């Protein structure tokens, strides 16, 4: 009788762990927003909106854009050359700076 109780407990435990392995994982919207924000794709500097180029000229004095990237939320990641160092800044399509 004792062996039957142990065997059924082991069987029940292994079935419940097996069933939990196939549960679907749902993501909270906030997590997915972060994933989309960080998914930048490289673009040509010539394809940047004029507002962004004007914002860089206004704040940094001259065009110092080394690389440009864009995400699905129309946010831009720019790698600027400032004082012989690379600085990463973020902006929206209207040239407003974003802090990340």
The model's pLDDT over 71-93, given as tens digits with 9 standing for 90+, comes to 988 999 999 988 888 899 999 99
Show Cβ contacts of residue 73 under 8 Å, excluding neighbours closer than 6 positions. Answer: 36, 37
Are the C-beta atoms of residues 51 and 93 closer than 8 Å to each other? yes
Region for residue 72 given its phi and psi (left: phi exceeds 0; alpha: psi -120 to 50; beta: otherwise): alpha
The model's pLDDT over 28-67, given as tens digits with 9 standing for 90+, comes to 555 554 544 568 999 999 999 999 999 999 988 776 889 9
Across the chain, mean pLDDT equals 76
pTM of the shown model: 0.60
40/77 Cα distance (integer angstroms): 7
41/43 Cα distance (integer angstroms): 7
Q: How many domains, the chain?
A: 1
For 51, the domain range is 2-98
What confidence score (pLDDT) does residue 3 get? 58
């Amino acid at each position: 009788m004792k062996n039957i109780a142990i065997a059924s407990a082991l069987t029940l435990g292994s079935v419940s762990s097996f069933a939990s392995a196939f549960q679907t994982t749902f993501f909270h919207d906030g997590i997915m927003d972060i994933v989309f924000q960080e998914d930048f794709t490289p673009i040509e500097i010539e394809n940047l909106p004029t507002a962004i180029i004007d914002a860089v000229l206004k704040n940094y004095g001259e065009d110092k854009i080394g690389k440009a990237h864009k995400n699905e939320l129309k946010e831009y990641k720019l790698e600027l050359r400032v004082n012989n160092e690379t600085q990463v800044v973020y902006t929206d399509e209207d040239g407003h700076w974003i802090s990340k």
